[in-house]
Amino acid sequence: MPLPNEANEHTGGCSDDLKGFLSSTGPYLRVQAASRCLHCAVRNNVLCSALPVSELPDLAAISRIKALNAGETVTIEGQAADTVFTLLSGMLKIYKTLPDGREQITGFVTPGEVVGLAFSACYVYTAEAVGPSTVCAITRRGLHALVDRNPRLQRRLLSMLSTELSAAQDQILMLGCKNATERVCTFLLGLAHRAPKDGRTRPVVFLPMKKLDMSGYLGLRPETVSRVLRSLETKGLITRIQSAHIRINDLDAFGELATAE
């Protein structure tokens, strides 16, 4: 373990907040937590963004980073819900399983979003990595303790739960009222709005999931999704720039297609 003066070498050029954080904790934990939590790539978009810097050591103590391969699960429907997961990179698919084994995909999780938030005793869905992904696993008991003493974290939690409810309502509307083109455009726009903002006027959407998974989520046949995507590409509204990436060329036109043909 480094001596105090050795740990101080890591503070050169740090912000005042980081220096205050480093001075309030043990040398080894300070540096570890600073690199893992304070400089987390999605920190500003996730639940823990409501935590002050002084409480990051507590967060580091109840969390760990886990790398996932495609097909690995972080939650399994019906199992005890003892951990909350924040997606740091990649994508997860959320699905429920019927008694006869059929699966219904109910959503896709993008970086900065959380799974396992609902405070039921068991997970109500399975969350599976679509491709190589990374999550931050936070113990639910530890999270409860942080929430109990932090009003800002409580408000952030309520906001995230409200967002989940709104997304579920939008999904019901899409499946009940929209045609194939509207569903595909709504889906792509949703991913574009959830992607990190990088100043692009023509956002690029990451689509690592299988066509079967996308079509299942949209309530369409795979060939219907392919037909709609080809039509959008022919009209110049989208451009396939890589095998798993699509650029939306006209957000306004896309928005109109998402609501009515």
DSSP 14-77: --HHHHHHHHTS-HHHHHHHIIIIIT-TTGGGSGGGGS-GGGHHHHHHTEEEEEE-TT-EEE-T
Q: Which of 6-10, 98-102, 152-156 has the lowest mean pLDDT?
A: 6-10
Question: Is a pLDDT exceeding 60 seen at residue 2?
Answer: no
Query: CB of 192 within 8 A of CB of 203?
Result: yes
Residue 197 confidence class, pLDDT cut points 50, 70, 90 = low
Q: Which pLDDT value is given to residue 260? A: 58
Number of separate domains in the chain? 3
Over residues 200-212, the pLDDT tens digits come to 678 899 999 999 9
Classify residue 192: in a domain, yes or no.
Answer: yes
Q: Which of 97-106, 146-155, 232-241 has the lowest mean pLDDT?
A: 146-155
CA distance 244 to 246: 7
Over residues 30-78, the pLDDT tens digits come to 445 546 777 787 877 777 778 877 788 888 888 899 999 999 999 999 9
Query: CB of 103 within 8 A of CB of 96?
Result: yes
CA angle, residues 48, 53, 59, in degrees to nearest 5: 45
- Closest Cα to residue 90, out of 197, 217, 200, 244? 244
Classify residue 201: in a domain, yes or no.
Answer: yes
- For 188, the 3-state DSSP assignment is helix
CA distance 235 to 245: 18
- Structure tokens that stand for 198 in this block: 């990088």
Q: Which pLDDT value is given to residue 167? A: 86
| Same domain for 123 and 61 | yes
Classify residue 170: in a domain, yes or no.
Answer: no
Q: What is the mean pLDDT of residues 234-252?
A: 90
Neighbouring residues of 56: CB distance < 8 A, sequence distance ≥ 6: 21, 33, 34, 37, 38
Q: Which pLDDT value is given to residue 23? A: 43
CA distance 214 to 235: 21
Classify residue 53: in a domain, yes or no.
Answer: yes
- Closest Cα to residue 107, out of 223, 229, 213, 202? 213
Single-letter amino acid, residue 183: R
Question: Is a pLDDT exceeding 70 seen at residue 244?
Answer: yes
Residue 185 confidence class, pLDDT cut points 50, 70, 90 = very high
Q: What is the mean pLDDT of residues 169-175?
A: 88
Q: Which pLDDT value is given to residue 57? A: 80
CA distance 126 to 141: 20
> Taking the CB of residue 38, how many other CB atoms lie within 10 A of it?
18
CA distance 192 to 201: 11
| Same domain for 112 and 32 | no
Query: In the 8-state DSSP scheme, what is residue 122?
Result: B
Q: Bigger pLDDT: 96 or 202? A: 96
Beta strands in the chain (DSSP E): 63-68, 73-75, 83-89, 92-97, 103-109, 114-115, 126-129, 133-139, 204-206, 238-242, 245-248
Over residues 109-163, the pLDDT tens digits come to 999 899 998 778 999 999 999 999 999 999 999 988 888 988 888 888 888 888 8
Whole-model pTM?
0.81
Range of the domain at 92: 41-164
Q: What is the mean pLDDT of residues 171-191?
A: 92
| Same domain for 86 and 120 | yes
Over residues 139-154, the pLDDT tens digits come to 999 988 888 988 888 8
Classify residue 169: in a domain, yes or no.
Answer: no
pLDDT averaged over every residue in the chain: 83
CATH number at residue 231: 1.10.10.10
| Same domain for 54 and 26 | no
With a pLDDT cut of 90, the percent of the chain lying above it is 48
Q: Which pLDDT value is given to residue 248? A: 93
Question: Is a pLDDT exceeding 70 seen at residue 175?
Answer: yes
Q: Which pLDDT value is given to residue 194? A: 84
Single-letter amino acid, residue 13: G
Q: What is the mean pLDDT of residues 191-208?
A: 81
CA distance 65 to 88: 9
| Same domain for 93 and 16 | no
